[in-house]
Amino acid sequence: DTSWDAMFALLLQFKTKNGHCNVPRRHAEQGKSLGDWVSKQRFKKSKAALEQRRVDLLEQAGFEWEGTVTDNDMSWGAMFELLMQFKTRNGHCNVPSRHVEQGKALGQWVGNQRFKKGNGALEQ
């Protein structure tokens, strides 16, 4: 599939520039929604719907199947601290999905935590 191969090539370019394959969800390369494509690859693999050849290529490139929706340098604990700051100011943890806290996509992170909890994938 040439479109998959083209997106994979963009992923490799992203890795060359950034040193990792953990593409932010809304990131675009050359007008293509690379972040969405990366998310779809993770989803397809989770449903055993991604061809093994593609899984192998992604893994050889250093693809992270769990990924994050925030910057790589932000640990879970650091994002949790941002959530606590939000709660202190707002009195709740119902962060809007597009909310950004100190330049970090806190709303996306909270949504991801809820998704993981619902699927039993959130670490205790």
**pTM of the predicted model over 0.75:** no
Q: What is the pLDDT of residue 49?
A: 93
Q: What average pLDDT does the chain have?
A: 86
**Longest distance between any two alpha carbons in the chain, whole Å:** 49
pLDDT band at 100 (very low <50, low <70, confident <90, very high): confident
Instruction: List the domain boundaries for the chain.
Output: 2-60, 76-118
Q: How far apart are CA 53 and CA 14, in angstroms?
A: 21
pLDDT greater than 60 at residue 10: yes
Give 66 or 59, the one with higher predicted confidence.
59
Residue 67 clears pLDDT 70, i.e. is over it: no
C-alpha 19/C-alpha 25 separation (Å) is: 17
Please state, in angstroms and rounded to a whole number, the distance separating the CA atoms of residues 71 and 35: 13
